[in-house]
Chain A
Amino acid sequence: MARAVTRNTRIGWTIVAWAVALVIFFPILYTIITSFKSEQEAIAGFDLIPSLTLESYQTVQTQNNYFRPFMNSVILAVGSTLLALIVAIPAAWAMAFSPTRHTKNILMWMLSTKMMPAVAVLVPIYLIFLRFGLMDTRIGLTVLLMLINLPIVVWMLYTYFREIPGEILEAARMDGASLRDEILYILTPMAVPGIASTMLLNVILAWNEAFWTIQLTTTSAAPLSAFIASFSSPQGLFWAKLSAASTMAIAPILILGWFSQKQLVRGLTFGAVK
């Protein structure tokens, strides 16, 4: 039975929610503020009012052209996501609607690959990339990022597909739908919210991936993660420039997340209430 919520309680929870959100968002906000300061202001101490100079952005752009790593990030994030969906939708369909007694084990095995630290397989993957000429190529990294995120994509899609009544698919089959038609025209449209949120999450994960994208690239395929890393200095204070580089790197994904937050939340909470 639903309980009445008083106005004061609602206001109280709203304040708490805003406070928590501000604490979580503050590091990003301060990075953005610092990016609009001069280097002298940046090291001078805590100050929320910048002089609004674009000096750091200009230097960052001059020192390291932003657009090449940006395009690489877009290609890697979108490419690996599409590739993952092509592989994961049929796999999740099979697991959700034609499970065998090994399905759970396979799902657990897929998830277990995420539990291994990436550095443990650095040398073998590095050697594979070298031998097959994939080093510093977008195609090599796209495939690798797809494989890295595939377990999560399959798991998420499997969870969404399980919410769809199997009877609808059976009805389609009785009406003569082929397997391809069933997946393309019945299942996929019904699971659009789930697929969309999986896509968004995968794009975010691929965009932020910073181990393999730094280890396996030099110049041609280096994305924004490598771009940020290049502004960290062991001897010298370049906080404003580093903040500007970080802001430029996170801005696209932040904007994407902002506009798609409704879809993202809907997808992530899909099936949460029975």
Chain B
Amino acid sequence: MNKTIRALMGATALCATAGIATAQDNVTLTVATVNNGDMIRMQGMTDDFSSSHPNVSVEWVTLEENILRERVTTDIATQGGQYDVLTIGTYEVPIWAEQGWLVALDDLPEDYDVDDLLPAVREALSVDGTLYAAPFYGESAMVMYRTDLAEAAGVTMPDSPTWTDIKGAAEAMTDKENEVYGICLRGKPGWGENMGFITAMANSYGARWFDMDWNPQFDSEEWKATLADYLELMTNYGPPGASSNGFNENLSLFQQGKCGMWIDATVAAGFVTDPENSTVADSVGFAKFPNREGVDNHGNWLWAWSLAIPASSQKQDAAKQFIAWATSKGYTELVAGKEGWRAAPPGTRTSLYENADYLAEAPFAEMTLSAMNAANPQKGSVQDIPYTGGQFVAIPEFQGIGTAVGQQFSAALAGQMSADDALAAAQSTTTREMTRSGYIQ
């Protein structure tokens, strides 16, 4: 073998080694997410992550919420490994973690300060004390109301209203001739739409989905009172076509000044007080999620859009680095520096609510923190229950059952059936599904 050939072979070997080393160092993460404002903002901040992690590039896959859930479920179940970071909620995390589908986040860097996470959120994203997802932004639920309409109607909204207070305020603020409706609530069927709200409302009435033997409880007095009051509120003081209204539709109505009150996720507070998009930004007040007199429960609504790593990912180290960046205090400061404190992702860290700049810019901060700290998704109802979850029941079957029950309640709101018929149908559907799934022997 002559010298030239040897030199060429040596050079080839070196190039190949260098190539392999480069390929190992350069990682492309695929992040699956939904198209919420805070996630879009995160995509815009990716350059900051890339500058501190030059070997990690990020590809975004943005999907509609239900499609994302479907795709991610299929991918995890088949060990597809298509995604390295997932955006999921407090409903999925405990269920998927118990299945062994998620990577434990028990070795986040020290400066991440995991103890700074809001206790309720941290607990909701942990199984047996181990964190399986890091919260990106969190929410509870509260009353958002028009202070100008309340004043004009002579209504004083207490910080912690009861449902009787809400009914009185809705009646006083309703002015249908001018298209002002006293109250806007979710009516669109879906486990994460109307059933998110109605389940929280039922909790605040002392109701529960199941007894300790997993028997559905829609025939209880508490559920009857919940649905009767919900329908009465919406029929008398709600907007027309409310059975088609979800979060976005109600947000639009409130921003246009057509709702006296809106009871929904705390994250909406940032939208309705945004002067660029809301016509009523200067006249919005906040109050705790209502409860029924004598029931010490304010719905226990708790949700956190969170970042998790599927066990099928081949790039778990880089994925952890990304999650540690996106859910860090540093990221919050980055957003605040570029877009102001109002844009900071809410509801995840205690330190945010101790920040004077944030408190000055976000009038809803105090009530949001109070609502999140009050939520106890580990025990959603005042009665004994065999499940966890506040505005949902954390079992895999809930998506199907919740949506089926939501359709009955939405039909009742649309006037297609009575409240009693809707509850009877919900009881029979849920009993059938729970028996089929083996919960009821």
- A contacts, CB < 8 Å to B: 39-40, 43-45, 63-64, 122-123, 126-127, 130, 135-136, 214-215, 218-219, 222, 226, 229-238
Residue pair B30, A219 in contact (C-beta under 8 Å): yes
Residue pair A214, B248 in contact (C-beta under 8 Å): no
B43 on interface, CB distance cutoff 8 Å: yes
Give chain B interface residues in 139-183, CB to chain A under 8 Å: none
Q: What is the CB-to-nearest-CB distance from B191 to chain A, in angstroms, rounded to a whole number?
A: 13
Give chain B interface residues in 168-222, CB to chain A under 8 Å: 192
Residue pair A235, B265 in contact (C-beta under 8 Å): yes
Residue pair B37, A130 in contact (C-beta under 8 Å): no
Residue pair A229, B67 in contact (C-beta under 8 Å): yes
Known: A43-B256, A232-B64. A218 touches B59 (CB 8 A): yes
The CA of A218 and the CA of B62, in the complex, are separated in Å by 9
Q: Which 9 A-B pairs have the closest CB atoms?
A: A230-B62, A232-B64, A233-B35, A234-B65, A43-B252, A236-B37, A219-B59, A235-B36, A229-B64
Residue pair B248, A45 in contact (C-beta under 8 Å): no
> What are 20 A-B contacts defined by CB distance under 8 Å?
A39-B277, A135-B82, A214-B67, A218-B59, A219-B30, A230-B61, A230-B62, A231-B35, A232-B65, A233-B36, A233-B248, A234-B64, A234-B65, A234-B248, A235-B37, A235-B267, A236-B248, A236-B271, A237-B252, A237-B271
A43, A64, A219, A234: the one contacting B34 at CB < 8 Å is: A234
User: Nearest CB to that of A241 among chain B residues?
Assistant: B35
- Pick from A39, A44, A130, A232 the residue with the most CB of B within 10 Å: A232
Known: A40-B276, A123-B78, A215-B74. A236 touches B30 (CB 8 A): no
The CA of A103 and the CA of B59, in the complex, are separated in Å by 49
Residue pair B71, A130 in contact (C-beta under 8 Å): no
Chain B residue contacts of A214, Cβ below 8 A: 63, 67, 71
Known: A130-B80, A230-B62, A237-B251. 7 other contacts (CB 8 A): A63-B40, A135-B80, A214-B63, A214-B67, A219-B59, A234-B192, A237-B255
Q: What is the CB-to-nearest-CB distance from B431 to chain A, in angstroms, rounded to a whole number?
A: 26
Q: What is the CB-to-nearest-CB distance from B155 to chain A, in angstroms, rounded to a whole number?
A: 27
Residue pair A237, B277 in contact (C-beta under 8 Å): yes
Residue pair B277, A215 in contact (C-beta under 8 Å): no
Residue pair A234, B74 in contact (C-beta under 8 Å): no
Q: How many CB-defined contacts (below 8 Å) exist between A and B?
A: 90
B322 on interface, CB distance cutoff 8 Å: no
Residue pair B62, A43 in contact (C-beta under 8 Å): no
The CA of A229 and the CA of B78, in the complex, are separated in Å by 23
Chain B residue contacts of A130, Cβ below 8 A: 78, 80
User: Nearest CB to that of A211 among chain B residues?
Assistant: B67
Q: What is the CB-to-nearest-CB distance from A97 to chain B, in angstroms, rounded to a whole number?
A: 44
User: Nearest CB to that of A235 among chain B residues?
Assistant: B36
Chain B residue contacts of A39, Cβ below 8 A: 277
Chain A residue contacts of B40, Cβ below 8 A: 63
Residues of B in contact (CB 8 Å), total 37
Q: For chain B, what secondary structure do more than half of its interface residues adopt (helix, strand, loop), or is it mixed?
A: mixed
The CA of A72 and the CA of B78, in the complex, are separated in Å by 25
The CA of A30 and the CA of B40, in the complex, are separated in Å by 26
Q: Mark B24-46, 1 if CB is under 8 A from A, else 0.
A: 00000010101111001001000
B247 on interface, CB distance cutoff 8 Å: yes
B387 on interface, CB distance cutoff 8 Å: no
Chain A residue contacts of B71, Cβ below 8 A: 214-215
The CA of A126 and the CA of B256, in the complex, are separated in Å by 45
The CA of A63 and the CA of B276, in the complex, are separated in Å by 20
The CA of A182 and the CA of B247, in the complex, are separated in Å by 62
Q: What is the CB-to-nearest-CB distance from B57 to chain A, in angstroms, rounded to a whole number?
A: 11
A122, A222, A236: the one contacting B74 at CB < 8 Å is: A122
The CA of A128 and the CA of B65, in the complex, are separated in Å by 25
Chain B residue contacts of A230, Cβ below 8 A: 35, 61-64
Q: What is the CB-to-nearest-CB distance from B26 to chain A, in angstroms, rounded to a whole number?
A: 16
Residue pair A218, B30 in contact (C-beta under 8 Å): yes
Residue pair B256, A45 in contact (C-beta under 8 Å): yes
Chain A residue contacts of B237, Cβ below 8 A: none
Chain A residue contacts of B271, Cβ below 8 A: 236-237
Q: What is the CB-to-nearest-CB distance from A91 to chain B, in angstroms, rounded to a whole number?
A: 32
User: Nearest CB to that of A229 among chain B residues?
Assistant: B64
The CA of A45 and the CA of B252, in the complex, are separated in Å by 9
The CA of A215 and the CA of B265, in the complex, are separated in Å by 30
The CA of A67 and the CA of B395, in the complex, are separated in Å by 41
User: Nearest CB to that of A215 among chain B residues?
Assistant: B71
B83 on interface, CB distance cutoff 8 Å: yes
Known: A44-B256, A218-B30, A219-B59. A236 touches B78 (CB 8 A): no
Chain A residue contacts of B252, Cβ below 8 A: 43, 237
The CA of A234 and the CA of B251, in the complex, are separated in Å by 11
Q: What is the CB-to-nearest-CB distance from A219 to chain B, in angstroms, rounded to a whole number?
A: 5
User: Nearest CB to that of A222 among chain B residues?
Assistant: B61
Known: A126-B74, A135-B82. A219 touches B61 (CB 8 A): yes
Q: What is the CB-to-nearest-CB distance from B221 to chain A, in angstroms, rounded to a whole number?
A: 33
Give chain B interface residues in 49-70, CB to chain A under 8 Å: 59-65, 67, 70
The CA of A214 and the CA of B63, in the complex, are separated in Å by 9
A64, A127, A136: the one contacting B62 at CB < 8 Å is: A64
Give chain B interface residues in 76-126, CB to chain A under 8 Å: 77-78, 80, 82-83
Q: What is the CB-to-nearest-CB distance from A239 to chain B, in angstroms, rounded to a whole number?
A: 8
User: Nearest CB to that of A228 among chain B residues?
Assistant: B64
Residue pair A234, B36 in contact (C-beta under 8 Å): yes
The CA of A226 and the CA of B267, in the complex, are separated in Å by 27
Give chain B interface residues in 240-255, CB to chain A under 8 Å: 247-248, 251-252, 255
The CA of A81 and the CA of B271, in the complex, are separated in Å by 46
Chain A residue contacts of B62, Cβ below 8 A: 64, 229-231
User: Nearest CB to that of B247 among chain A residues?
Assistant: A235
